[in-house]
Amino acid sequence: MDRAAVFDVDGTLVDTNHLHVTSWWEAFRQAGHDVVMHDIHRAVGLSGHDLIAHLLGDGRDTSQDDTINAAHKTLYATYSDRLPALPQAGRLLRTLAGQGWSVILATSASGAELDALRRAIDADDAITATASAEDVGEGKPAPEPVQRALELAGVPADRALFVGDTVWDMEAATRAGVLSVALRCGGIPQRDLEDAGAAAVYQDPADLLDQLDDSPVGLLKTRLDGAHPGTRAPS
């Protein structure tokens, strides 16, 4: 395969963002911090320690970070066996794999959390590889997760696309030089996603699948199919 479709997971393929918000809110509360849920929602997509730093600031007591992060994981795991995939998430991945895309997951999840997310998607047969939090030094919005996904796929940035649901996803893809497509099912406004670099915005995986041929995904496929493998796609 000479092209890659890289996907975020939380809020993009699995309906977890609001569960993360509630779990983080309670984890902060247990540590003595009142953090507004709206602010937590806008920070979802960052790695755990980056999210804590973003919300509590540099002047926080950093000795609490591990405790807050662990509390979030424990609270979130309470529902891990009931995580719902977003509409047509698995079918979208299988459709792309059937079209010759290497489907790569790029997520801040790892271990048991990642296993639960993959069970929810139920499309392991379509997934080529996963770039998890354990594989990178910096999470989104740094480009490293997307770059690692491209390494796993063995393709350059101009033969790939990224699908995510947060501004951090769009910024990471843009910094990696990868075409980005956004989904609104994570709860982030369309304007914010576009301002962060999204080439197009769809409601959820089902909406993208319905419009796939006319989407940036379909247009990139057409361009790449017209280019000799290993060469740069025409502008």
Q: How many CB atoms lie within 10 A of CB 166?
A: 29
State the DSSP H helix or E strand holding residue 145, giving kind and residue range, or none if neither.
Answer: helix 144-153
How confident is the model at residue 1, as a pLDDT? 62
Cross-strand partners of 202: 183
Q: Mean pLDDT across the stretch 61-82?
A: 95
pLDDT: which is higher, 151 or 110: 151
| Radius of gyration of the chain measured on its C-alpha atoms | 17
Q: Where are the domains of the chain?
A: 4-15+84-225, 17-81
Q: Give me 60's structure tokens.
A: 């926080």
* Helix (H) / strand (E) containing 174: helix 167-175
pLDDT digits (tens, 9 = 90+) for 86-137: 999 999 999 999 999 999 999 988 899 999 999 999 999 999 999 988 888 8
Q: Which CATH class is domain 17-81?
A: mainly alpha
Q: What is the pLDDT of residue 227?
A: 66
In the predicted model, what is the mean pLDDT of residues 172-183?
98
**pLDDT for residue 182 is more than 80:** yes
Between the alpha carbon of residue 153 and those of residues 40, 63, 93, 104, 106, the distances in Å are 32, 38, 15, 7, 12
Q: Report the amino acid identity of residue 21.
A: V
214-221 long-range contacts, CB within 8 A, separation 24+: 215/181, 216/161, 216/179, 216/181, 217/5, 217/96, 217/161, 217/163, 217/181, 220/3, 220/161, 220/179, 221/3, 221/99, 221/101
Rounded to whole angstroms, how far apart are CA atoms 47 and 64? Answer: 16
Instruction: Say if domain 4-15+84-225 classifies as CATH 3.30.450.20.
Output: no
pLDDT digits (tens, 9 = 90+) for 221-232: 999 998 654 444
Average pLDDT in the 140-148 region?
96
pTM above 0.85, yes or no: yes
Mind giving me the DSSP string for 197-218?
T-SEEESSHHHHHHTGGGSHHH
- Express as a percent the part of the chain with pLDDT over 90: 89
Strands 200-202 and 179-183: parallel
**pLDDT tens per residue, range 195-205:** 999 999 999 99
Evaluate whether 101 touches 218 at the Cβ level (below 8 Å). Answer: no
